[in-house]
Amino acid sequence: MKRLALLATFACNVVIFAAPPVAAPPSDSFGRSALHWAALRGDAGECAELLAGGTDVAAADANGETPLHLAARRLRTDVAARLIAAGADVRARNLSGLTPLALAARACPGEPEALARLGALAEILIAAGADPRDAQRPASPPLAPEDRAAYHTYAQVEADLAAAEALHPGLCRRVNLGLTVQGRTMWALCISDNVQLQEDEPEVAYISTMHGDEIIGMEMCLGLIDYLTSNYAADPRVQNLVNSLEIWIVPVMNPDGFVNGTRNNAHGVNLNRNFPCPYTSPVNTPAGREVETANIMNWRFGRSLTLSANFHSGAMVVNYPYDANASGQSVYTASPDDDVFIWASEEYSRYNAPMWNSPTFYHGITNGADWYVIYGGMQDWAYVYMGGNEVTIELADSTPPASQIVTYWNNNRESMMAYLETALTGVRGVVTHRLTGQPLAATVTVVGRGHTVYTDPDVGDYHRLLRPGDYDLRFEAAGCAPRVVEDIVVSSGPATRLNLRLGPPTPPGDMNCDGATDILDINPFVLALSAADQYALLFPDCDILLGDLNGDGLVDILDINPFIAALAE
pLDDT digits (tens, 9 = 90+) for 434-489: 889 999 999 999 999 989 999 999 999 999 999 999 999 999 999 998 999 999 99
Amino acid, res. 182: Q
Domain-located, residue 151: no
Q: What is the pLDDT of residues 354-364, one digit of tens each?
A: 999 998 999 99
Domain-located, residue 100: yes
| Residues 533 and 411 grouped into a single domain | no
Q: What is the pLDDT of residues 25-38, one digit of tens each?
A: 444 567 889 999 99
Task: Report the C-alpha gap between 291 and 107 in whole angstroms.
Answer: 32
- Residue 309 DSSP SS3: strand
Going by pLDDT thresholds of 50, 70 and 90, the confidence category of residue 515 is confident
| Residues 339 and 443 grouped into a single domain | no
Q: What is the pLDDT of residues 291-332, one digit of tens each?
A: 999 999 999 999 999 999 999 998 999 999 999 999 998 999
| Residues 369 and 490 grouped into a single domain | no
Q: What is the CATH number of the domain that holds 324?
A: 3.40.630.10
Q: Which domain holds residue 91?
A: 34-135
| Residues 115 and 59 grouped into a single domain | yes
Query: Among the options 113, 219, 347, 394, which is catalytic?
Result: 394
Going by pLDDT thresholds of 50, 70 and 90, the confidence category of residue 13 is very low
Domain-located, residue 19: no
CA 514-517-519 angle, to 5 degrees, is 100
Domain-located, residue 406: yes
- Res. 48: pLDDT tops 90: yes
| Residues 232 and 318 grouped into a single domain | yes
| Residues 98 and 124 grouped into a single domain | yes
Domain-located, residue 167: no
pTM of this structure: 0.83
Among the candidates 135, 163, 189, a domain finishes at: 135
Least confidently predicted of 99-108, 149-158, 269-278, 519-528: 99-108
* Higher pLDDT, residue 370 or 12: 370
Among the candidates 423, 441, 459, a domain finishes at: 423
Number of domains making up the chain: 4
- Res. 539: pLDDT tops 70: yes
Least confidently predicted of 25-34, 45-54, 395-404, 445-454: 25-34
Q: What is the pLDDT of residues 112-138, one digit of tens each?
A: 777 788 889 999 999 999 998 887 766
Amino acid, res. 427: V
| Residues 241 and 322 grouped into a single domain | yes
Nearest to 344 by CA among 371, 307, 369, 394: 307
Across 250-274, average pLDDT: 98
Give 92's Cβ-side CA count (13 Å radius).
22
Among the candidates 404, 423, 442, a domain finishes at: 423
Domain-located, residue 155: no
The number of residues in the chain equals 569
Q: What is the CATH number of the domain that holds 489?
A: 2.60.40.1120
Domain-located, residue 247: yes
Task: Give Rg (Cα) of the chain.
Answer: 27
Task: Report the C-alpha gap between 369 and 392 in whole angstroms.
Answer: 12
| Residues 434 and 555 grouped into a single domain | no
Going by pLDDT thresholds of 50, 70 and 90, the confidence category of residue 384 is very high
158 catalytic residue (yes or no)? no
* Higher pLDDT, residue 136 or 335: 335
| Residues 433 and 562 grouped into a single domain | no
Q: What is the pLDDT of residues 103-115, one digit of tens each?
A: 888 877 767 777 7
| Residues 452 and 477 grouped into a single domain | yes
| Residues 463 and 485 grouped into a single domain | yes
Domain-located, residue 509: no
| Residues 435 and 382 grouped into a single domain | no
